[in-house]
């Protein structure tokens, strides 16, 4: 079975003092969770916090990820950070293609394909985000859009071992509006069947597909119970130790 992954995307939030307090709070709460070993826990702070947070999580089960990476290994790319630098800072995961990167920073599928390859080539896990806008959903374009986002980036020659997909409907991110369990499960199942076409059925069953979009303690339980929802990519709720820990606890208690 797929082990649940609960990942917190801190976005551009937290000073060092605030970050230390948040991680201390998460550590304190998750040690009380039964079956915590059944869940992978990941925090993705902004770049300036990666090294201190690597220290702050030391000795816990929490893993460290980044929110973006450049696809080139080094060079004249002012303001950018490479995969090997992230690895050096203690990261094991990198979020690629978050809808805010696509929308606000013009990252397209072609660029994201390079980034995913760079992350996997650097032996880190790529969490590749896909999702439709509200207009696309209302125009019944959800399947087509998600299929195109997956097809443009995920190919048979890409290692599936360290690949995670995050389905994040753009209209649900930071809006308080969550996909229904049926909507989420339908898209997750479609992604998995596309992964079976790209790789094969056995591999598709091993790749985790996370849900993201206003996941909170009061809706996470139902979403996480869906057969093809293998965890969550959490924005707003991961900035609170109690909310993030509550979602982790729900993931640990789900039996599928």
User: Site residues (CB under 6 A) for ligand PEP?
Assistant: 9, 98, 168, 173-174, 212-215, 233-237
Q: Do 159 and 122 form a contact (C-beta atoms < 8 A)?
A: no
Catalytic residue among 70, 93, 98, 188: 98
- Least distance between ligand PEP and beta carbon 72 (Å): 25
By beta-carbon proximity to ligand PEP, the closer residue of 122 and 169 is 169
Residue number with the smallest Cβ distance to ligand PEP: 235
Chain centre distance of CA 44? 9
- Least distance between ligand PEP and beta carbon 176 (Å): 8
Q: Which tokens go with 137? A: 């959903």
Catalytic residue among 70, 93, 168, 188: 168
Q: Do 207 and 163 form a contact (C-beta atoms < 8 A)?
A: yes
Rounded to whole angstroms, the Cα distance separating 248 from 26 reads: 10
- Least distance between ligand PEP and beta carbon 117 (Å): 22
By beta-carbon proximity to ligand PEP, the closer residue of 57 and 220 is 220
Residue 87 pairs in a beta bridge with none
Sign, CA torsion 154/195/149/175: negative
Residue 168 annotated among the catalytic residues of the structure: yes
- Least distance between ligand PEP and beta carbon 128 (Å): 12
Strands 125-130, 231-234: pairing is unpaired
Residue 188 annotated among the catalytic residues of the structure: no
Q: Which tokens go with 42? A: 């990941």
* DSSP H helical ranges for the chain: 16-30, 50-56, 83-88, 99-105, 109-121, 134-138, 142-153, 181-198, 201-204, 217-224, 241-253
By beta-carbon proximity to ligand PEP, the closer residue of 90 and 97 is 97
By beta-carbon proximity to ligand PEP, the closer residue of 45 and 235 is 235
Q: Give the end-to-end CA distance of the chain in Å, rounded to a whole number.
A: 9
By beta-carbon proximity to ligand PEP, the closer residue of 13 and 29 is 13
- Least distance between ligand PEP and beta carbon 214 (Å): 4
Question: Known catalytic residues?
Answer: 98, 168
């Amino acid at each position: 079975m797929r082990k649940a992954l609960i990942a917190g995307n801190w976005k551009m939030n937290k000073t060092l003092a605030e970050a230390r307090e948040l991680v201390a709070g998460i550590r304190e709460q998750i040690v009380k969770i039964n079956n915590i070993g059944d869940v992978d826990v990941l925090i993705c702070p902004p770049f300036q916090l990666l090294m201190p947070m690597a220290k702050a999580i030391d000795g816990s089960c929490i893993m460290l990820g980044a929110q973006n990476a450049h696809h080139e290994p080094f060079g004249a790319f002012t303001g950018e950070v490479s995969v090997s630098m992230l690895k050096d800072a203690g990261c094991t995961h990198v979020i690629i293609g978050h809808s805010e990167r696509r929308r606000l920073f013009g990252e397209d599928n072609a660029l994201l394909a390079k980034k995913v390859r760079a992350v996997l080539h650097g032996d880190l896990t790529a969490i590749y985000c896909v999702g439709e806008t509200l207009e696309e959903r209302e125009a019944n374009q959800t399947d087509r859009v998600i299929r195109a986002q997956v097809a443009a980036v995920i190919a048979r020659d890409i290692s599936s071992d360290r690949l995670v997909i995050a389905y994040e409907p753009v209209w649900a991110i930071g809006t308080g509006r969550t996909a229904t369990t049926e909507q989420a499960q339908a898209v997750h199942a479609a992604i998995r069947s596309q992964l079976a076409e790209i790789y094969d059925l056995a591999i598709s069953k091993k790749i985790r597909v996370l849900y993201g979009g206003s996941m909170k303690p009061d809706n996470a339980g139902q979403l996480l119970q869906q057969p093809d929802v293998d965890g969550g990519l959490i924005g707003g709720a991961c900035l609170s130790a109690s909310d993030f820990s509550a979602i982790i606890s729900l993931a640990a208690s789900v039996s599928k």
